Amino acid sequence: MRLRLEPAGPANAADLWRVHADDEVWPWYGNEKPSLERMQRWAKSIGDSWRLHGVHKWIAYDRVSGEVVGRGGLSRTPVDEDWGQIYTFLPAEPWVRVAHESRRPFIAHANWLEIGWALRREWWGRGYASEIGRAGLAFAFDVLEAQAVVSCTVRHNVRSRAVMERIGMRYAGEIRSRGMVDGVEAEQDDAPYAVCVLLRSDWDRSAARSLQDRPWERVADPAGGRCDVSA
């Protein structure tokens, strides 16, 4: 694979800002370009989730040039009414509502995760989002032993929806949440989000790269100490 994936944390705040301050990226996530200070706070939160929940987003670097390509991967979803809309698209089984053992930094679902990606504009169209997505699915199912992975994007983000389908996720329906609406400048409280789902039982391992060639690395824990994300 062409990417090196590092668990994001405070040390990656500037690179996280480079991704989300890209003029083709930030309009999908809010009303204004994020500040470096905002990204520093988010990077700390991501590092906390790696330490306490065992997973969150990666920063993706080109293996040859070392340039930051984007961010992506998995995160645990809060147990709240907003994410509770996803229950409709998951099996009617007890594991769906089970909470993760750690109550910090927030109460999260234990057995299913969200996957996503964001790339700097200059790296679009080269298949990097799909690489991050496939690595995330392998990490979710073979390392974290998740039962399901979901992905959500505003309805009109056709590029992201295409990546979801390309990596084997299946369209399940729509939910409503705060976000951007096609043709409207400001965020809305009831933006339509397309939801794709992949269950562990439906994951096609033959479509994923062997875990013997893992793009993630043993690196310093973003919150301090060591974090072997390939274990």
Burial (0-12, 13-18, 19+ Cβ within 10 Å), 225: exposed
Residue 227 above 50 pLDDT? no
Tens digits of residue pLDDT in 106-159:
999 999 999 999 999 999 999 999 999 999 999 999 999 999 999 999 999 999
Tens digits of residue pLDDT in 71-86:
999 999 999 999 999 9
Mean pLDDT of 1-16: 96
To 5 degrees, how large is the angle CA 96–CA 102–CA 108?
A: 35
Residue 60 above 50 pLDDT? yes
Tens digits of residue pLDDT in 167-214:
999 999 999 999 989 888 888 999 999 999 999 999 976 555 444 455
